[in-house]
Structure formats: structure tokens, C-alpha cells
Amino acid sequence: MAAYLIRRIWQMIPTLVGVVLLVFFLFKYFGGDPAVILGGLNATPEQVDAIRTQLGLNQPTYVQLGIFLKQIATFDWGRSWATNEAVGHLFATRLPATLTVMTPILLLDAVLAIPFALLVAYLRGSLTDRAIMVVTTVALAVSFLVYVIVGQYLFAFRLGWFPVQGWTDSVLTNLAVYAPLPVLLALLVGLAPQTRLYRTFFLDEIGQDYVRTARAKGLSEKRILLTHVMRNAMIPILTNVAVALPGIFVGSFLIEVFFSIPGLGREVLLAVNRSDYPVIQAVTVYLAVITMLVNLATDVLYKLVDPRVVLK
């Protein structure tokens, strides 16, 4: 296991280098001129040149690349071009709010979708199964924006169960008061596709020979599903969770905007509007690193879920 982890981490280095170079040159040659954007419409050429000099944009490309690599190695991304706030401080103060929303969504999505899909697979072919498939299909066709508008109107304005906006420094208060509505709406959006997908995984396993053998031995359908089918279906489920994790992280950005949550996602969207490259580059590189680490953790979980898996 240790040799496998070392080899995988070593293999991640070329990928990370490729991501870093891609991010640098994309922002360098395909993005707008930050000096012009920060200077505004009424800025003179002299003022634009002064901003470019202050930001170091007039230095040779290899010097700028060296500075960028140094920032990554030292975790010091400098200051935001728009607000002059240290990027590290920005991450430290905004990330807790994002995790407060994203973590319950990720955990509840898996905890609810897996048993729900297993129940639907158990009732396969029945009227209940068909009705649930129709409901999930309709849910997939509805935009997330519709969920937000209807959810805020129904649960906040009409019923008064949750506030539409607000945030505090207390994590418990945020989880109990301000996070439930956005988490609930995100679960309503994510539960439908996950249920359909996990149901497919379970049905594929139910059709395997080992299930027919277990039935021939007299095992009950519930025991077959819980002991054999679910365990073998966990491999593709873990893969799907790993693939969906970056999407959930990005999706939380929209939630933060709709509910005015002072998280990292809302700050990233503001940085995009301001062409605040240090913030955008830091988020892009960190998200790539997180994605690679999640994939590595998923491969390790394969071995824990199914001891037959051999890590090479």
C-alpha cells in the first residue's frame, strides 16, 4: 500500500505541472489585460502602465512564470488585485462558510441516495418503481434556478421555516438556521440523478450469476441486496462520488450567490467579474490538487470496500 501511494503521488507531479503551465499561459495570453480592467474606462495610458508595473505584468514571461511557481510552492499567492486583501487570508476566512454548506450536501447526498436507490432496485418492475422513475425524470428536467425560486418562496416567504439570507460566525447557528434551506434545495436537485444512476448499478449487479447462486442457496432477497449486491456496487458508486465532488464544490458557488453566503464561491465569482487573476489562479490550482487527491483516496477506498481489488 505504501509503495502504491508513493508511486501515485509521484505520478501526480507531471499532471500538476501541466495544470500549472496551462493555467499560467491561459491567463497570460488569452485573458484580458488586468491593468486596463483595474484602471477603468477613464484611466490614462500612463495610469495603465503604472498599474502594469505595480502588478509586475511588464516583466518577461519567464520571470512571471517563476513568480507563479514560487507562489504555488510557498502557498503565498500575494494580494488580490481588486481588494488588496491577502489571498491566503481570503481563503482562510471564506472557506469555512463554503465547507459548512458543501459538507452536508456531500454526506447527505450519498447517505440518502444509496439506500433510496437500493429500495427502488428491490421494488424493481413495480408501480412504485415506475412512479419514482417518472418523478426523478421530471426532477432532472427542472433547472436549479427554479428550485431556488420556488424553495425560497415556499419555505421562506410562505411557511417561514427558514431565512432567505443571513450568516454568522457561529458554525452551529449557521448549520441550524441558515444552511438547511440551501442544503435541502441542493439535495432535491442531486437526489434524482443519483437515485437513477445508483439504481442502475444495483440492477446490473442483481443480474449477475452470483446473485442467482445466492438465491439458489436459499438466501433472502434483502440479505442478497444488503450483503452482496450493495458491496459489489460500491465500486462504481465511489467512482461517481469522486467524479461529482468537484461539481458539488462548484455548485456550491451558485448557492452562495443565491443565498448571499460569504463563502469562497461568491468570492471567486466576484474575482472573475473583476479579472482578479491571483484569486482565480489559486482556486484553479487548488481545485486541481483536490481532484487528484480525491481520486487517490477513492482508489484506496476500492481496496477497503472490496479486498479482491489489487492496487498496482
Same domain, 97 and 143: yes
CB atoms within 10 A of CB 121: 23
Mean pLDDT of 222-233: 81
Count the domains in the chain.
2
Same domain, 208 and 245: yes
Out of 74, 101, 127, pick the residue that ends a domain. Answer: 74
DSSP classification of residue 106: H
Reported as a single tens digit per residue, the pLDDT across 52-62 is: 777 777 777 78
Same domain, 203 and 133: yes
Assess if residue 130 is contained within a domain: yes
Same domain, 137 and 56: no
Mean pLDDT of 233-245: 79
Least confident of 2-6, 121-125, 138-142, 267-271: 2-6
How does the average pLDDT of the chain come out, rounded? 80
If pLDDT is split at 50, 70 and 90, which confidence band does 170 have? confident
Assess if residue 213 is contained within a domain: yes
Same domain, 221 and 137: yes
Reported as a single tens digit per residue, the pLDDT across 69-87 is: 887 878 777 777 777 788 8
pLDDT above 70 coverage of the chain, percent: 92
Same domain, 96 and 212: yes
Least confident of 28-42, 196-210, 273-287: 28-42
**pLDDT for residue 312:** 64
158 within 8 A of 239, measured Cβ to Cβ: no
Same domain, 107 and 215: yes
Assess if residue 175 is contained within a domain: yes
Mean pLDDT of 104-131: 84
Reported as a single tens digit per residue, the pLDDT across 107-119 is: 888 888 888 888 8
Mean pLDDT of 187-199: 84
Q: What is the pTM of this model?
A: 0.74
CB atoms within 10 A of CB 75: 11
**pLDDT for residue 41:** 65
Separation between Cα atoms, residue 65 and residue 297, nearest integer Å: 31
Same domain, 97 and 215: yes
Mean pLDDT of 131-152: 83
Grid-cell match 488586468, residue found: 34
Mean pLDDT of 156-169: 83
Grid-cell match 502504491, residue found: 4
Q: At 189, which CATH number?
A: 1.10.3720.10
CA 16-21-22 angle, to 5 degrees, is 95
Assess if residue 279 is contained within a domain: yes
If pLDDT is split at 50, 70 and 90, which confidence band does 93 have? confident
**pLDDT for residue 257:** 81
If pLDDT is split at 50, 70 and 90, which confidence band does 308 have? low
Same domain, 59 and 98: no
**pLDDT for residue 205:** 83
Grid-cell match 447526498, residue found: 109
Q: Which residue has the higher pLDDT, 173 or 51?
A: 173
Query: Which structural domain, as residue segments, surrounds residue 173?
Result: 88-305
Same domain, 43 and 174: no
